Amino acid sequence: MSAFSSFAQQTTNHSTHFNKFYQYGVADAFIGGLYKGTLLLKDLKQHGNFGLGAPDLLDGELIILDGKVYQTKANGETVKAYNSSTTSLSFVTFFKADTSFVVNDLISQKNASTTIMNFLRNKNGMYAIKITGRFNKIKTRAFPPFKQEPFPPLSSILDKQQFFNFENIEGTLVGFYLPSYLNGVSISGLHFHFLSNDKKHGGHVLDYEGNGFKVEIARLYGFQLDEQNDPALQHFEFKKTANESLEKVEKGH
């Protein structure tokens, strides 16, 4: 039996409203220590109803789903974020899938990633990806807040991140695939955050396994980048080693 079955043909949903990619903040600056939130979440939601990001002062992880913003904190608590809260780095779109398929058999994160990549017709394109279903197991993480400047680079505080392991939990992976030429400005490759159906659990996804997943993919057209409205960005020194640091941060080690 095939591990997945396609139930929707790829169509064009290229419109003035849906599937435009909006990013607030420069990824390399964020991982270098620019954690101060400078965009209100109510303003972020003007650019998308689906996405992920980082809260003010690196206080956990953000998940944007169905137009609502949730924050998973380092103590494991997931709450609905206030419109008056801010973000230092976020990626959003108004999501409308143009390709869908179902994973029938038990599948690991690695194999699921391979399957998803096979559906991406343009490896140099941008995609939003939504995965819903029951996870036999899933591992996520969140960072605690850092309140004193200058903030340490993210790669130097990996020992501060908190890990969460869930079993037999239903939820949604919210994420993106971005091409390698955007690395540094953005985060290339596959990048997911998790939100449970009961909205009580979440975080940055490190590993998962499950079956019966519904995978929805939206090809993104257009890229709007607004840099952090942070005076520290004017003097920030971008380093050639930032890509290596970003890979460590994404993997959690």
Q: What is the pLDDT of residues 188-199, one digit of tens each?
A: 999 999 999 999
What separation in angstroms does the CA of 7 have from each of 10, 113, 171, 180, 230?
Answer: 10, 19, 21, 29, 45
**Could you give the CA distance from residue 25 to residue 228 in angstroms, rounded to a whole number?**
5
Which runs of E-coded beta strand occur in 96-201? 99-103, 107-108, 126-142, 162-178, 189-196
User: What pLDDT is stored for residue 39 in this prediction?
Assistant: 98
Cis before 150? omega within 30: yes
Average pLDDT (44-71) is 98
Band (247; pLDDT cuts 50, 70, 90) = low
Instruction: Report how many domains make up the chain.
Output: 1
Please work out, in degrees rounded to the nearest 5, the angle formed at the alpha carbon of residue 49 by the alpha carbons of 46 and 54.
85
Look at residue 97 and tell me whether its pLDDT is greater than 70. Answer: yes
Query: What CATH number does the domain containing 169 carry?
Result: 3.30.1330.80
Average pLDDT (102-113) is 95
Residue whose tokens read 């819903």: 132
Band (243; pLDDT cuts 50, 70, 90) = low
User: What pLDDT is stored for residue 156 in this prediction?
Assistant: 94
Cα Rg of the chain, angstroms: 17
3-50 residue pLDDT tens: 444 444 444 444 458 999 999 999 999 999 999 999 999 999 999 999
Domain that holds residue 25: 4-251
User: What pLDDT is stored for residue 249 in this prediction?
Assistant: 73
**Could you give the CA distance from residue 107 to residue 85 in angstroms, rounded to a whole number?**
37
Contact call for residues 135 and 170 (beta carbons, < 8 A): yes
β-pair partners for 198 = none
Contact call for residues 117 and 224 (beta carbons, < 8 A): no
Residue whose tokens read 């279903």: 133
Residue whose tokens read 């002062």: 57
User: What pLDDT is stored for residue 28 in this prediction?
Assistant: 94
